[in-house]
Amino acid sequence: MKAAAIARNTFREATRDRALTGVLVAGVALILATQALGALALGEESRLTVDLGLSAISGFGLLVIVLVGTSLVAKEIERRTIFNLLSRPIGRPAYLLGKWLGLSSALWVVVAVLGLVVWLMLEVRGHGGYGPAVAEAAYLAGLELTVVTGLAVLFSALSTPVLSTLYTVGFYCAGQWSWDLRDFAERAPGALGVTLRVAADLVPNLPIFNMRALAAHGQVTTPFHLGLATLYALVYCGCVLALAAAAFESRDFK
Amino acid sequence: MPDAPDHPPEALAIRTAGLSKSYRHNWTGRIVTGLDELNLEVRLGEVMGYLGPNGAGKTTTLKLLTGLLKPTRGDAWLMGVPIQQVSSRRRIGFLPEQPYFYEYLNGMEYLELAGQLSGLAGQEAHRQARGWLGRVGLGERPRLVLRKYSKGMLQRLGLAAALLHQPDVLILDEPMSGLDPFGRRDVRDLILEQRERGTTVLFSSHILPDVEILCDRVAIILGGRLTRVATVGQLVGASHQQVEIRCTVVPPFAPEPGLVGTVERRDRPHETSFLLHDDTRLGEMLAWLLRVGAQVRAVTPQRATLEELFLATAARADADAHADERRSA
């Protein structure tokens, strides 16, 4: 209940932030601009719309996390608004959970709006058949952003906004290359191989959320993949938030 | 082991036993003590003023009690519940020093959020928020965003947020700082109202006349150590009272040899006043005045103010500290 109140407030904070409005406007403008490139696409307009549209969802979602998420908790500590919250009967884990839920909800709104615009563009062009593929890919992109939001909350609770941005973007990039990292680990000798394997296990497995290539051809994925990706996102976020809560519990607010 | 409390624990709203807080400097590794072995008891329904100069440890104490800081040593209880437990904060209201608010919220939204976080259900939080916004004089524009509030309005909103779930214990950190006389009066009235309700209040303040008006007892903390806890009456009454005697027609005689050093004479165009530093010599003084033919017009006891006593306590503690340093050197 109290985590829900924090989540509602965080959602309100994110949606009243001009950054989110700017990102939404820029995202919609980019998707509309792809229509002007249709003539250059040599009959692949739909593929271009889906590919660029889904990339816009991931890219602009990440931008929201960088602009809002990486300073989510640090800003509250710096501005001392956290005094008014944590002096009430609310546990610190519930506070972090609320922050994560609130920003994730705002990101799901971004995903839904941009996903809807992509689908509308396709519908207008008479390619409504891409709908299910776009919906699935947008859902997975939303899960990916939810996972990255968890990392942003973790780093934001433990460091400054600048460092938090560096760590979050670093983990995002490493997460995108986690399969390559695993391949390197297989081939690297001794201690380096073990280190790389541990790193590959720690960073989020983000390729599991990427079905842009499939969606660009109008193909859907399996329910097993969707279920597995959902479960993975929930477990990964759970672990990250538990780590954040443990570290945040002993923190002093001077 | 903490000492046994002077009052049964159930009669205490706040109790600390050896509560201490130290900080380690990030770069030098030096340890700084913010609060040292605090043993404090605040009784149910009592209003206690918590006094001390800047950096004495007042805010540290209040933040430890409200869970914003973690104690290095010692224990504390709020309404009998250890402060380590989240539930200890269920029955308290807290106003931090210079409270900061979410600028994107309006007054109504902020109070609803505060109510929900203090355990009120949605509808009840809404009802209380509306009521309290009106009670602190902000009800006319409930949708005004907080970035447009003045400092006084924000302070009143902070107090409403601390009070809207009807806490049993109110902890206020410098609630009157930065307020104009009207704002101070409003805050003072709210605290008095809470006292009538039976709420226990612990508040730190620099504005000693307000403390004198509001408090049952005061605790004085200096350099992280509690130096004194007493009722305002005890503090003020224990001091030697001065007496002012105003007279007309006083011949220019020197006072009797026995009174020299305890009395100051001030001659003005139409009257002469004597300030007697020791009220136990009043009879002797009056007898002398009558003997020399003075016409006594008024005898006014002059109580030392809390401010004077506080400054004297601080000066004494400072002198003791210097003496200790000299001894250890």
Pick B114's closest partner by Cβ from A79, A84, A86: A84
Summarised one tens digit per residue, pLDDT across range A18-61 is 888 999 999 999 888 887 776 676 667 778 888 888 999 999 99
Angle between the B107-117 and B122-135 helix axes, to the nearest 10 degrees? Answer: 130
Q: Do A89 and B118 touch (CB under 8 A)?
A: yes
Model pLDDT, residue B181: 83
Beta carbons of B35 and B61 less than 8 angstroms apart = yes
| Domain-located, residue A254 | no
pLDDT score recorded for residue B236: 67
- The ranges assigned to domains in chain B are 12-236, 240-303
Q: Which fold has domain B12-236?
A: Rossmann fold (3.40.50)
Q: Given an 8 Å threshold on Cβ–Cβ distance, is A84 in contact with B69?
A: no
Predicted confidence (pLDDT) per residue in A113-157, tens digit: 999 999 998 888 887 788 889 999 999 999 999 999 999 999 999
- Given an 8 Å threshold on Cβ–Cβ distance, is A89 in contact with B69? no
Within 8 A of B116 by CB-CB distance, chain A residues are 1-2, 5
- Listing from the earlier edge strand, what are the strands of the sheet with B200-204? B92-95, B169-173, B200-204, B47-51, B217-222, B225-231
Full pLDDT tens readout for chain B, 329 residues: 444 455 656 678 999 999 999 988 877 888 888 899 999 999 999 999 998 888 889 999 999 999 999 999 999 999 999 999 999 999 999 999 888 888 889 999 999 999 999 989 889 999 999 999 998 888 888 889 999 998 888 888 999 999 999 999 999 998 887 778 888 888 888 889 999 999 999 999 877 778 888 888 999 888 889 988 888 777 766 656 778 898 887 777 666 777 777 888 888 888 888 888 887 888 888 888 888 888 888 988 776 666 667 777 777 766 776 676 666 65
Cβ pair A79:B113 closer than 8 A:
no
Contacts of B161 in chain A (CB under 8 A): 84
Q: What's A74-112 look like in SS3?
A: HHHHHCCCHHHHHCCCCCHHHHHHHHHHHHHHHHHHHHH
Contact (CB<8Å) A89/B89: yes
Does residue A219 form part of some domain?
A: yes
Which positions in chain B touch A16 (Cβ < 8 Å)?
Answer: 104
pLDDT, residue B207, reads 75
Determine what percent of chain A is predicted with pLDDT higher than 70.
98
Q: Between the CA atoms of A1, A248, B161 and B207, what dihedral angle is there, to the nearest 10 degrees?
A: 160
Based on the number of CB atoms within 10 Å of its own CB, is A22 exposed (0-12), middle (13-18) or buried (19 or more)? middle
Q: Are B39 and B96 in contact (CB under 8 A)?
A: no
pTM greater than the 0.95 cutoff: no
Tens digits of residue pLDDT in A199-239: 988 999 999 999 888 888 888 889 999 999 999 999 999 99
Is the residue at A18 inside a domain?
A: yes
Residue B126's pLDDT is: 93
Q: What is the pLDDT of residue A47?
A: 83
Nearest-CA distance A131 → chain B (Å): 37
The answer to whether residue A156 is domain-embedded is yes
Buried b (16+ CB within 10 A) or exposed e, B283-310: ebbbebbeeeebeeeeeeeeebebeebb
Instruction: Tell whether the torsion through CA atoms of A64, A70, A73 and A75 is positive or negative.
Output: negative
CB contact under 8 A, B90 and A86: no
Question: How many domains does the structure of chain A reveal?
Answer: 1
- Is some CB atom of chain A closer than 8 A to the CB atom of B272? no
CB of B86 less than 8 A from some CB of A: yes
Report the distance separating Cα B161 and Cα A168, nearest Å: 35
Its ipTM equals 0.85
Contacts of A252 in chain B (CB under 8 A): 23, 68-70
Domain interval for residue A34: 2-249
Question: What pLDDT, on a 0 to 100 scale, did the predictor assign at position B106?
Answer: 92
Q: CA of B69, closest CA in chain A: separation in Å?
A: 5
Q: How many CB pairs under 8 A join A and B?
A: 76
B104 vs A13: CB contact, 8 Å cut-off?
Answer: yes
Give pLDDT, residue B180: 81
Of A222, A62, A226, nearest to A140 (Cα)? Answer: A226
Tell me which of A20, A85, A88, A97 to substitute to probe the interface with B (most B C-beta atoms closer than 10 Å).
A88
Q: What is the pLDDT of residue B3?
A: 46
Min Cα–Cα distance to chain B from A91, Å = 6
